Structures are given as structure tokens and as C-alpha cells.
Amino acid sequence: MTKFFDEIYDNIDEKSIMEEDGIYIMKTYGRLPVVLIKGNGMYVEDINGKKYLDFLAGISVNNVGHCHPDVVETIKKQAETLIHTSNIYYIVPQVKLAKKLVELSGLDRAFFSNSGAEANEAAIKLARRYGKNNNIGEGEIITMEHGFHGRTLTTVTATAKPKYQEGYGPLPKGFKYVPFNDLEALKENITNKTTAIMLEPVQGEGGIHVADKDYLKGVRELCDDTNIVLIFDEVQCGMGRTGKMFACENYNIKPDIMTLAKALGGGFPIGATLAKEKIADAFTPGAHGTTFGGNPLACASAYASVSIIENLLENAQKMGEYFTNKLKALKDKYPFIKEVRGLGLMVGMELSFNGGDIVKKMLEKGYLINCTSDTVLRFLPPLIVKKEHIDELVNALDEVFSEMNKNK
């Protein structure tokens, strides 16, 4: 019954998997030395049976925890029923998921794709087409320094990080970067070419930078005054991560277009672009499309994931506060901790040195954390996290820090 599954997992060992990865996979990822093969709730297990407490959640994908029984059950049932047809036909789980997301977000329509980058591609295309139809700018899109929007040619151009763009020219035209949380800089850079402003309410890859309340309010007002389209990339900070379903709810602000992916599918790949009606209308039949986007299996999994997250928001808020306070207490102990910042369970700890070694030492101890932008330890635990997990993680981090202090 499980012939191919057995074939995949038959006779595997750490060494041969790592070797064959080196032979058969393109070298885009600097992998940590671990082969994870199982997950359950807050924990994952490697090929040698060692358990890890997961405070990264696949970079904010496993928000409902690993292999959540309701997600597993929904995927199984949908897989047995219908995996894929085509967007040429009506798709039941797609309609149900769209309705749910529209009701939760207060936006009007959804377009489904397969990833965050694709969700942003759709947002950019939609904003430009709407702008063209309504004489708003000339297609130029302003994005933020330290932002991240994906790795397709266009989204990597929207991402103001030269390292990610190196060697890929010629890049698409029409992007301009300004400092984040600086309303004056934004105003100065708006011209009659500007069609849209795109930003993450909480920047993830850039090092967990939270938008100031006044700033985001100012950006919204600016867009209201000028008809410029406001796009929020909530691929990382959405789906309950900040203690609200969408990060912008913390600000009582609604964008014109919002993009989602990562935790949306509960681990299954799916992206979504939500928009206000008048903007969504710029996508007419044939204007955009994808083969897999919104397929039955992905949408069923996402429907389950979103429904579970609805009941995890309060925990995310409470645990986010508890966790942040505990990390701030560590900051008082170690002078090399420069800042602890975040919103809900999206938490960063900025160090005065590269955090790569800390991540490796934590891995050896059985904890998954991450370092982004060189010096920022990033914590994105599943939203099911409890105090006891946080206590354990913070104690382990304390140990690693104090060992390091001794060795200096």
C-alpha cells in the first residue's frame, strides 16, 4: 500500500543523504548538518532519532505545529477525493477558502498561487494594471530597505538587497527603495510615476523590524490622498504570527492588496493575493493565471490551517509577551545583546556579532532557531507554544551565552 513511501525511506542514513544531496541538488542552500524526518506539534526528529524543540517552524510555515491532526486528516481525505483538476473548472475548496480569507481580512477577492513570491508577483501585476487603467503613476513601485519579497526576478528586484540581485541583470524596471519607518523619505520619493507602495508591516528576513504605529497610519493616509495602491506583504507576519490573524490588524489599518503564503497552507505550498474589489477588477479573464494555484489539495489544507489558527491567536498574543519579556531579561545579563524586538510570536534578538554559531550550538543542544541579517537571532515558534517550551528554550540560550562568555 505504501510502496513508494517505503522505497523513499528504505535504508537511509545521515551520511548518504548528505552525500547525495551534495551530488544531486543545486547548491543554493547552506544546510545545517541535520536530516529531519518527522514532526509532531512543537517537535521534530532527525534521522538518528534525536528530538528538537522547534522555534523556527519552517520559517513561520508550521504555525499550527507539525503534522497537526486536523491538517493531516484534511489532506488525506482531499487527496483520496480529488488532488487536482484545473482553474478551467470551479473548485470547491478554493471557493470556501477565498470566502474565509475575505471575511477575515475585510478585503474582497482572492487570487491563489503557490508561494509568497508568486503572491507578490500577482500583487505587483495587479497594482500596475489597476494603475494603468486609472492613470495612477507609471507603474513604479516603492519598497523598503531591509524588506524581502521573494526570489523571482521581479520580487527579488522589489527586495532592496543587492546580494540577492547580484548577477541576475538585467532586472525588471520600476522599483525604488526608501528607508523603512521614515514617512518623510517616502513622501520625498513619491512622484507622478509612483503607482504602489509595498511593505511588510513587520519585516522578517530584514531582521524583525516592526512598523511604527504613526508611520503605518501615515502611509495609509498618504495612499488615500494620492490613490497610490498600498500593498502589505504579510507572507511572514500574517496568519496569526503577531497575535492577530493579519499583522495590519495590530494597527487597525487595511491595505488595498495583501499577500499571504508561508503558514497559509499549514505546510502545504499555497500563496494568496487579496484585494479590494475595485482593484481586483483589473484582473479580467486571461489577465493572470497559474496551473496549480488554488488547487483542491492546497486549498483544503489551507482551509484547515486557517481555521486552526483562528483559535490560536490569543495564545500567540500571550506567549509572545511572555517570550519577549524573558528574552529582555537575558538582555540585562549579556551586554552583547543589543535589542530584543518583535510583535506577538515574531521575535528578534539583535547581537553585536554574527549569530550563526549560536544557531549551531542551539542545534547541537536540540533547539531550532535561526539567524537573519547576520546579527539577528530570529524566533518564530508554532503558535501552539506553551510557557514550558519558552522556559526551556530561554534556559538553553542562556547556557549557550554563558558558555560563550567564559570562552572569551
Ligand X SMILES: *Cc1c(COP(=O)(O)O)cnc(C)c1O
As annotated, the binding site for N(2)-acetyl-L-ornithine includes 151, 290
| 116 binds ligand X per the rule CB under 6 A | yes
| 257 binds ligand X per the rule CB under 6 A | no
204 versus 382: smaller Cβ distance to ligand X: 204
CA angle 360, 365, 370 (to 5 degrees): 40
**Minimum CB–partner distance for residue 258 and ligand X (Å):** 11
| 261 binds ligand X per the rule CB under 6 A | yes
Among 66, 149, 341, 389, binds ligand X (CB under 6 A): 149
Among 55, 112, 148, 283, binds ligand X (CB under 6 A): 148
Among 54, 121, 140, 233, binds ligand X (CB under 6 A): 233
Question: For the chain, how long is the longest CA-to-CA vector?
Answer: 65
Task: Measure Cα distances from 70 to 91, 257, 301, 307 in Å.
Answer: 21, 30, 9, 10
**Minimum CB–partner distance for residue 144 and ligand X (Å):** 11
**Minimum CB–partner distance for residue 147 and ligand X (Å):** 8
54 versus 205: smaller Cβ distance to ligand X: 205
Give the x/- contact pattern for ligand X in 185-224, rule: CB under 6 A. ---------------x---xx-------------------
Strands 109-113, 370-372: pairing kind? unpaired
Among 122, 124, 198, 235, binds ligand X (CB under 6 A): 235
| 121 binds ligand X per the rule CB under 6 A | no
**Minimum CB–partner distance for residue 205 and ligand X (Å):** 6
**Is residue 170 reached through a cis peptide bond, with omega within 30 degrees of 0 on the bond before it?**
yes
57 Cβ neighbours under 8 A, 6+ residues apart: 63, 263, 380, 381, 382
**Minimum CB–partner distance for residue 345 and ligand X (Å):** 15
| 350 binds ligand X per the rule CB under 6 A | no
Among 42, 107, 117, 144, binds ligand X (CB under 6 A): 117
**H/E element holding 214?**
helix 213-226
- What does the alpha-carbon distance between residue 246 and residue 268 come to, in Å, rounded to a whole number? 19
Task: Measure Cα distances from 318 to 56, 280, 307, 385, 386 in Å.
Answer: 18, 36, 19, 10, 10
Binding residues for pyridoxal 5'-phosphate: 116-117, 148, 233-236, 291
- What does the alpha-carbon distance between residue 337 and residue 349 come to, in Å, rounded to a whole number? 7
Of the candidates 270, 318, 227, the residue with the CA atom closest to the CA atom of residue 71: 270
**Minimum CB–partner distance for residue 332 and ligand X (Å):** 30
Among 236, 295, 317, 370, binds ligand X (CB under 6 A): 236
The DSSP secondary structure of 281-295, one letter per residue, reads TT--TTSS--SSTT-
- What does the alpha-carbon distance between residue 63 and residue 382 come to, in Å, rounded to a whole number? 4
CB atoms within 10 A of CB 378: 25
- What does the alpha-carbon distance between residue 237 and residue 188 come to, in Å, rounded to a whole number? 27
61 versus 396: smaller Cβ distance to ligand X: 61
Give me 123's grid cell.
Answer: 500583487
Site for ligand X, residues 155 to 174, rule: CB under 6 A: none
Number of residues counted as binding ligand X (CB under 6 A): 15
Query: What phi, psi does 284 have (nearest 5°)?
Result: -100, 165
Return the active site residues. 148, 233, 262
Q: What is the contact surface with ligand X in residues (CB under 6 A)? A: 115-117, 120, 148-150, 200, 204-205, 233, 235-236, 261-262
